[in-house]
Structure 1
């Protein structure tokens, strides 16, 4: 990325502005990433709990009702 591409007019000395903006953006990005990470963890945890609740016989079926070894039968 070159100096002049930070979406603001370069009236302030470009590099200073860039440094300031970039740290802030990185911080926000990190927050967002953590939030997404937490969301993903929560989703996975929910799914795992659901799987644990189902009895083992059903657990071996995939959502489409085929067992683990029967996936190949989809391409007739």
Structure 2
């Protein structure tokens, strides 16, 4: 299992919430960040999660693919954030 998804599961985040979070990520990354903050994951785990993603950004793609979502939408959302 993808380590990002494993952290969510470890904190009893439902499959529905995880799918909604990644769907939001594909549409509006800023909203996804706010949603992550509302999931009740302790700050130290969020820091660990962010560290993993910063060291290995491919984890996001792996999680999106594992959830059966379209990674091209993540790339399009990321492009919107570029100045």
Tell me, yes or no, whether TM beats 0.5: no
What TM-score, normalized by structure 1, do the two folds share?
Answer: 0.30
What TM-score, normalized by structure 2, do the two folds share?
Answer: 0.28
If asked which structure has higher relative contact order (CA below 8 Å, sep 6+), I would say: 2
Give 1 or 2: higher helix fraction.
Answer: 2
Which has the larger Rg? Answer: 1
